[in-house]
Amino acid sequence: MVRGRQGRIKNYFAENRLFAIRSIVAGFIAGTLLLAVAGRLFYLQVLRHEYYATLSQGNRIRTEPIPPSRGLILDRHGVVLADNLPAYQIELVREQVGDIKSLDATLSLLVQIGLLRREEVANTRRSILVRKVYESVPIKLQLNPEEMALFAVHRYQFSGVDIRTRLARHYPLGATAVHAIGYVSAINEQDMNQIDSDEYAGTSLIGKLGVEAAYERQLHGKRGSREILVNAAGRPVEKQGDYTPVLKTRPPLAGDDLILGIDVRVQKVAEEALLGKRGSVVALDPRTGDVIALASTPGFDPNNFVRGLTVAEYSALQNDIDKPLLNRALRGAYPPGSTVKPLYALAAEKYDIISPLQTQYCPGFFQLPGSSNKYRDDKKHGALDMRHAIAESCDVYFYRVAQKLGIDRMHEFMSTFGYGDLTGIDIPGEKAGLYASPEWKRRVFKRKADQVWFPGETISMGIGQGPITVTPLQQAHFAAEIAERGQIIATPRLVSGIRAAGSNTVTPRNPVFMKPIDIATLEQWEVVYDGMLGATSMPGGTAYAAGLGSKYKFAGKTGTAQVFTIKQTENTRAKILEERKRDHAWFIAFAPAEDPKIAISILVENGGFGASAAAPIARKVLDAYLLPNDAPPEAKKSL
């Protein structure tokens, strides 16, 4: 029993030694941790002082983007077509507004006070959500004084919403050349998926059409930034107590100015000549491809897109029966009518099926062998050679040419000049024309019966009818090819030069030339020239009236493209009473005939005869360009 009690007596010596060991270890760990904390404090407060001071300063200093000034657009003489004016707009910063519920409440309040339309809320909300939370997003553009006063009264009700001054796009000439210049409009969700959102921070508008869209990168410039001091609510302040930071600013780089080949004076003459009509005028410099005029009527005022259209306003434009939003010059596809005849005459020479001096008799109609169907002409021309057939636009003569050529040779020859293809102009939206062939029918149609190519289709193609379409731009390009005898073929372009921001030096853009068309001899081209010159200068020529009194020689070709098919037993003139069923009127030309400086195409939708509806317009435009001192007074007014 004594031994048992002694075994339970504590070993104070061992316990003290264990406690001492544990104390040393704990002290070592605690010392190590204290040293680590001290080291970290030294690292943060001494070694990384400048870095974390900058971060802490960032809690009250906000970096705000400075959008660049958009480049100007000018005509060839320096007339400003697009510039920038100061404007006020309402902008919203999402991180200062709060959560999604707060954002919806803010937008609803803007609707209640009349600064935002209810139908705009969904698009505005999407535009805000695709931007970064710290970005200032425009939600109401170009405020008028009444709207600014209204917001000022309710300013206290908003957090993260304020009025900012920005440069807004302005088109001083309104609708003039709108389909060439294009317009800018608010950046939407689709745009945000295609651009660098950081580079466009603070920018509210982007090019949507024409030159504005095609040259967006050059026009936009490079954004800058500036630091601003803000309080706890995110409001800009000058200082906080005694704290006055050194704020940095990086200035933006303005976009480049673009110099167009357009001559505004000629453009205005073209648009005034088309006033009240649906149509297009395209004028090119055949040596460089520069677009001298590109008109499509009716048009619209691009300034309305800058401020923002209502749903009703946009719907009215989109549903207008006259289609003002349609760029007829690039996207209007029409049968070319008799404007194709000069090239068919050249093909007849090349393939030696009819010599230029060989006469063909025109009884006023043409019949295919074994067919009772009559392809009528507008009159009985009698005997004509090739030059007179072009000048007088004899359908029967070219029915025979088409019959002898055959569709395969016709397609091969016309494709060489670009029929059925794009011109490659430097703005988006161009529509390719069509030049059909048996192979095309086999590819397009599913039913065997629809794939058959009929001789009558070849005959119709011989006068520019049937499955053949062109745009006014392509027609002007073809006229330029004829003017240069196929040797100088420049791709059409609107922008001829670029000027850096703040510079007076214009850097010209070199024309882009295509491969020459070596398809005929100079003697064969001369026959075509003589025929087109005869159309404007020879009694009996289809455009003789338009050429009377001209101070220069110009070669041209009229065209009348059928829109509504008339039965052979019906009276043509009596039947086509409805204006929109009348024929389209065409005229192509180049001048001066001996040294072409301008090639032109005119289209008047449902205008009737090219000689009476289109050729007089061409004469006005040619005079304005070649005889500027003789231009009508309204064309000389200050722009």
> Which of helix, strand or coil describes residue 334?
strand
Residue length, the chain? 639
How far apart are the C-alpha atoms of 457 and 439, rounded to whole Å?
14
370-409 burial, b at 16+ Cβ within 10 Å, e below that, comes to: eeeeebebeeebeebbbbbbbbbbbbbbbbbbbbebebee
39 burial level (CB within 10 Å; 0-12, 13-18, 19+): exposed
Tokens 């200032």 belong to 136
- Going by DSSP bridges, is the β-strand pair 224-229/205-207 parallel, antiparallel, or unpaired? unpaired
Rounded-to-10 torsion of CA 144, 107, 301, 504: 70
User: 592 preceded by cis ω (within 30°)?
Assistant: yes
Residue 184: strand, helix, or coil: strand
Nearest one of 216, 192, 176 to 68, comparing CA atoms: 216
**Torsion, CA 232, CA 233, CA 238, CA 242, rounded to 10:** -20
**What does the alpha-carbon distance between residue 390 and residue 401 come to, in Å, rounded to a whole number?**
12
Side chain identity, residue 289: G
Give CA separation, 134 vs 63, 189, 595, in Å: 9, 17, 61
Amino acid present at 488: I
Q: Is 473 exposed, middle or buried (0-12, 13-18, 19+ CB in 10 A)?
A: buried
Angle between helices 121-130 and 100-112 (to 10 degrees): 140
Pick the catalytic residue from 136, 185, 204, 338. Answer: 338
Q: What is the DSSP string of 342-353?
A: HHHHHHHHHTTS
Distance (Å, rounded) from C-alpha 256 to C-alpha 267? 24
**Could you tell me which residues are beta bridge partners of residue 82?**
73
> What's the CA gap between 361 and 381, in Å, rounded?
8
Torsion angles phi and psi, residue 341, rounded to 5: -60, -40
Nearby residues of 72 by Cβ (< 8 Å), 6 or more positions away: 80, 82, 83, 84, 257, 258
Amino acid at 166: R
Q: What spatial distance separates the first Cα and last Cα of the chain, rounded to whole Å?
A: 127
The residues near 364 (Cβ < 8 Å, ≥ 6 apart) are 376, 377, 379, 380, 381, 396
Reference 183, options 325, 328, 332, 294; nearest CA is: 325
Distance CA 529, CA 589 (A): 11
Residue 222 CA to chain centroid, in angstroms?
A: 22
Q: How far apart are CA 399 and CA 389, in angstroms?
A: 11
Residue with structure tokens 């390719």? 432
**338 is a catalytic site residue:** yes
Q: What does the alpha-carbon distance between residue 305 and residue 313 come to, in Å, rounded to a whole number? A: 10
Q: Which residues are catalytic?
A: 338
